[in-house]
Amino acid sequence: MRNVFIIGSKGIPSNYGGFETFVEKLTENKKSDEIKYHVSCLATDEKEFVYNDSRCFNVKVPNIGPAKAVYYDLAALKECIKYIKMNNIDNPIIYILACRIGPFMWLFKNVLKKYNITLFVNPDGHEWKRGKWSAPIKKYWKISERLMVKHADLLVCDSKNIERYIKEDYSKYNPQTTFIAYGADSEKSKLADDDLTLINWYKEKNIKQNEYYLVVGRFVPENNYETMITEFMKSNTKKDFVLITNVEQNKFYEELKIKTSFDQDSRIKFVGTVYDQELLKKIRENAYGYLHGHEVGGTNPSLLEALATTDLNLLLDVGFNKEVGMDGAVYFSKEKNHLATLINKLEEMSEAERFILGEKAKDRIEKNYTWTKIVNEYECLFLTLF
């Protein structure tokens, strides 16, 4: 029996967040009886429960602001080691998602070795590049990443570009790495085109099926909303640009409104968030095109979901996106007028051409990014180590 302890997600059950969805799918689709998962969950108590045949343990964390995530990972790591020790578990794996606690890993080096614990780390994306962080926090993230790489027995990268970056930037540590992608749900929405939930949503937002470009994601600068909105406003399309994102009390939203005057263009529609996953999937399926401007990070879940559902996908031309989309998408740069010109050109695209592009995108997902494939690769890894 291989005991795998997973730290770093907010926990399960969950239907939001990249790491949360990953842990949900990993446990939900487990095939091997030789694996036992132990999942840390961020909570206000210390209860223990079983979910998806996994032992889930709550880690109580005080509300201490930005340091909360660091505290949580450290507390969860201590709890894992305590449980391993008390139950005399042989050859366990601790899998830490993201690189938040690098400066503290030296404290655990000897105890990990003592109990023959193998340490896996998912380095996530370039967290230290995110615009929301101040300069000191960005510096902490970069140092933390380096030290997590140094102390990990294996780094599991969900992007080949991230794996290449880890090997090149931290070559002095000779890091052991492997690539296992993130997964995507490729099933079509259960909602029909005449479903009242969908019809009422379109009516409320003043949107028409197949008459809009779509984006879904966090409203942060590094996802290049400024470029996408500015260029869309310059284009000649009569279609809407529908943005499913949370902009409440968002300083970036107000700054962007002043910079671009998007509120003067009736095509730009911020419609809030959509938590109904079947509805969201249907909105994706019915979009004329999907825009993806993410520039920081590895394989992005919203990109996989778009490729699995929307025929026409316009992706920012960076390595992370190209390795996923390949010839199943079209690409834009941040160069002035590039995206606007591309949108104008794509307006002339025939339905057949869009369909062919969509089939290529869906084929990419079916062959490389299904949860069945991803879970199988993880189980093989956990059972054979490296």
Strand-strand pairing, 54-60 and 48-51: antiparallel
**179 strand-pairing partners:** 157
pLDDT category at 137 given cuts 50, 70, 90 is: confident
Return the pLDDT at 247: 87
Instruction: Indicate the pTM of the whole model.
Output: 0.89
Q: Is the model's pLDDT at 16 over the cut of 90?
A: no
pLDDT at 127: 66
Q: How confident is the model at residue 194 (pLDDT cuts 50, 70, 90)?
A: very high
3-class SS letters over 155-182: EEECCHHHHHHHHHHCHHHCCCEEECCC
Residue 133's pLDDT is 67
- Residue 130: pLDDT over 80: no
Tell me if 292 sits within 8 A of 282, measured CB to CB: no
Question: Can you give the pLDDT at residue 81?
Answer: 98
What are the structural domains of the chain? 2-183+370-384 (3.40.50.2000), 196-368 (3.40.50.2000)
**What is d(CA 31, CA 305) in angstroms, rounded to the nearest whole number?**
24
CA distance 96 to 83: 16
Summarised one tens digit per residue, pLDDT across range 54-107 is 999 999 998 887 789 899 999 999 999 999 999 999 999 999 999 999 999 999
Name the least confident of 14-23, 48-57, 252-261.
14-23
Residue tagged 């199943």 (tokens): 328
Structure tokens belonging to residue 129: 């590049």
CA distances from 136 to 9, 34, 132, 143, 251 (A): 24, 44, 12, 11, 20
Examine the pLDDT at 369 and tell me if it is beyond 80.
yes
d(C-alpha 223, C-alpha 221), whole Å: 5
Flag whether pLDDT at 200 surpasses 60: yes
Residue 14 has pLDDT above 90, yes or no: no
- Is it the case that residue 126 has pLDDT exceeding 70? no
Q: Are 239 and 288 in contact (CB under 8 A)?
A: yes
